[in-house]
A = this chain, B = another copy of it.
């Protein structure tokens, strides 16, 4: 360890979670001017097996795993907490906003009835909700610091940027640390749009929305993008009572694999009043005299479009933060995406240097971040591993939770000659205006506004009787898809599914619907 830079040594102190929260808040308020937080064991004379550069999901989980295996690691992060952007300004705030969207849709649907307030014409203050999150987010941060230090035995340096010296050496807070290997976990950042006016005040992405919103946006929100982030935030803005226009370059929610499911989802977004313009391209954003957004100009299939607004949200995907590693180490990256290239063992092009998490590109999902961290740890500790996710269950939020695994119906029909589909609502002359499905958070809809109560579909290969796809719009099914996915990968049949024990009134009606058909030798749709 070299000398230099001021540090606060956490080693001999056991902060409670509350105390960590105070520490983190102080550090965040001082924005990089406070001391580095050191939790490095001076009595451990072993070489570090690795240094994780970046303490987000990948670095923290990789650290925990390597430590659990008996190795020695160090994890370094510029923020005063472990866990990275997810709980700070990325996925966790989105869950807060999506919860608000779901609650607000319910409140607006039942406006003035029962205990629900009158919501007609009510615009909900967004900044108050952002502020709630900004105050509350330190809580999870503090849990992760506490857990990492007291329960997982992770060594870390926080609240200080790391500088990569070479493939074995990192400098932080004026000290140099050496390790057998490095693991790069530098994350990603929101993509920007290359149009005039994109730097005006009032143009946000998911990071700056949480970090810098300091006024209450007006009555019109413009969202640029058509995939997860754009839709999740767009539905929230809409739910607050604002006119919300979504400008989608190609097609909205292409990633939802089942066409009926996608239609259900988009129709409900339109029902809530979201204006969706596909094939749209932003031309420029114009500002007022104070440098604030005043207008957005776009090209659309129906001609030019001008929208007066003081609030534009860019939901355009993410760019890996690979520049520093390229510069310091010369790691190879994908020329198109900027992602650091790795092999199935998470090794970069530079010997002894691994990369994990969003830095290595799609899927930029939590499970991949965390698992790539742990797989890198296992590789470094000498295990023969292979990790390259090609298929996984997936979800997104609108005002609803939309979850899927496997194949959509159309794709299944391309692959199997005898596809059987089980749907709820079933095909019937009244369409969606029928009193099922019902379950978590849609009971009031099922009773009073049935078409809002969700949609679900199982796709089955009728010959093998195996489930090949499952799709759900509603609430309370996302967690289930994690486990259902494993069973489907095992070859789950409609017979096995129908023989399970449902916890009625279950959000996925899959078990009971399967049971209604499982007696058939030649399966038919339901």
Nearest Cβ on chain B to A515's Cβ, whole angstroms: 6
Q: 14 additional contacts, CB 8 Å, given A96-B443, A476-B476, A483-B483?
A: A61-B515, A64-B516, A99-B443, A139-B435, A140-B438, A141-B435, A147-B526, A152-B526, A374-B519, A389-B501, A401-B440, A476-B479, A482-B511, A483-B487
Nearest Cβ on chain B to A60's Cβ, whole angstroms: 9
**A190 touches B (CB below 8 Å):** no
Asked whether, in the complex, the Cβ of B142 is within 8 Å of the Cβ of A519, the reply is: no
Query: A64 — which chain B residues lie within 8 A by C-beta?
Result: 515-516, 519
**A505 touches B (CB below 8 Å):** yes
Asked whether, in the complex, the Cβ of B447 is within 8 Å of the Cβ of A68, the reply is: no
Asked whether, in the complex, the Cβ of A394 is within 8 Å of the Cβ of B119, the reply is: no
Residues of A within 8 A of B (CB): 16-18, 61, 64-70, 86, 91-92, 95-96, 99-100, 103-104, 106-107, 113-117, 119, 122, 124-125, 128-129, 132-133, 135-143, 146-147, 150-152, 365-368, 370-371, 374, 377-378, 389, 392-395, 401, 403, 425-426, 428-430, 433-436, 438-441, 443-444, 446-448, 450, 475-487, 498-508, 511-512, 515-521, 526
Asked whether, in the complex, the Cβ of A68 is within 8 Å of the Cβ of B518, the reply is: yes
Nearest Cβ on chain B to A444's Cβ, whole angstroms: 6
Query: A403 — which chain B residues lie within 8 A by C-beta?
Result: 503
Per a CB cutoff under 8 Å, which of B99, B117, B476 touches A444?
B99
Asked whether, in the complex, the Cβ of A516 is within 8 Å of the Cβ of B16, the reply is: no
Asked whether, in the complex, the Cβ of A515 is within 8 Å of the Cβ of B478, the reply is: no
Asked whether, in the complex, the Cβ of B487 is within 8 Å of the Cβ of A137, the reply is: no
Closest to A431 in B: B17
Asked whether, in the complex, the Cβ of B447 is within 8 Å of the Cβ of A139, the reply is: yes
Asked whether, in the complex, the Cβ of B152 is within 8 Å of the Cβ of A516, the reply is: yes
Separation of A392 and B498 alpha carbons in the complex (Å): 15
Query: A107 — which chain B residues lie within 8 A by C-beta?
Result: 115
Separation of A477 and B68 alpha carbons in the complex (Å): 28
Asked whether, in the complex, the Cβ of A92 is within 8 Å of the Cβ of B18, the reply is: no
Nearest Cβ on chain B to A24's Cβ, whole angstroms: 11
Selected A-B contacts with CB under 8 Å, 26 pairs: A95-B438, A96-B447, A99-B440, A99-B443, A99-B444, A100-B444, A107-B115, A117-B117, A135-B447, A137-B435, A139-B434, A139-B447, A147-B516, A365-B501, A366-B502, A366-B505, A367-B511, A370-B512, A389-B501, A395-B503, A440-B475, A440-B476, A479-B508, A481-B503, A483-B487, A485-B501
